[in-house]
Amino acid sequence: MLFGKKKRRICKLLIVEDEPLVAFDTEHFLREAEFEIVATVDRVADAIGVIRDGHEIDLVLVDISLTDGSGLDVAREAHKQGIPVLFVTGDCPMGGQDVAVGCLSKPYAQRDLIAAIDIIEAVLEGKKTKRLPPGLRIFEKAA
């Protein structure tokens, strides 16, 4: 197909967000953008359970401040399983660069989250990244 859409490498997402409206909005617009949402959870324990259950996940979107702990714990487990992580948070964590590809600062526009996912896909494929959307930081180790 000459002018068809490029096949995405990142299709299946795990959303870890404890703010219900943010979680709902994120899930809704990512579905509209044709991503598959494996699960949307609001607790560290639930996220780790989804990761350990062997679900096929291409990227974890995780907030840092969760009601039962830190999104860093989720990122560490995803990293152990070889699943890339993007922090979506108001404050990028110290030490996050060891277990994640990058960090997108809240608040962000929906188009910026989509652009961040596209850039992470390019980074994972070893391509040079274009201009980053506002609030996105790609960690040196990943780039």
Pairwise CA distance, residues 128 & 130, whole Å = 7
Q: With helix as H, strand as E and coil as C, how does 55-97 read?
A: CCCCEEEECCEECCEEHHHHHHHHHHCCCCEEEEECCCCCCHH
0.75 surpassed by pTM: yes
User: What Cα–Cα distance (Å) separates residue 127 from each residue in 16, 35, 45, 133?
Assistant: 27, 21, 34, 17
In CATH terms, 12-138 corresponds, of 3.40.190.10, 3.40.50.920, 3.40.50.2300, 3.30.420.40, to 3.40.50.2300
Confidence band, pLDDT 50/70/90 cuts, at residue 4: low
User: What Cα–Cα distance (Å) separates residue 125 from each residue in 21, 32, 54, 128?
Assistant: 32, 24, 23, 9
Residue 142 pLDDT exceeds 70: no
Residue 143 pLDDT exceeds 70: no
Pairwise CA distance, residues 40 & 14, whole Å = 6
Residue 14 pLDDT exceeds 80: yes
pLDDT, tens digit (0-9, with 9 covering 90-100), for 106-133? 999 999 999 999 999 999 988 887 789 9
Domain locations in the chain as residue ranges = 12-138
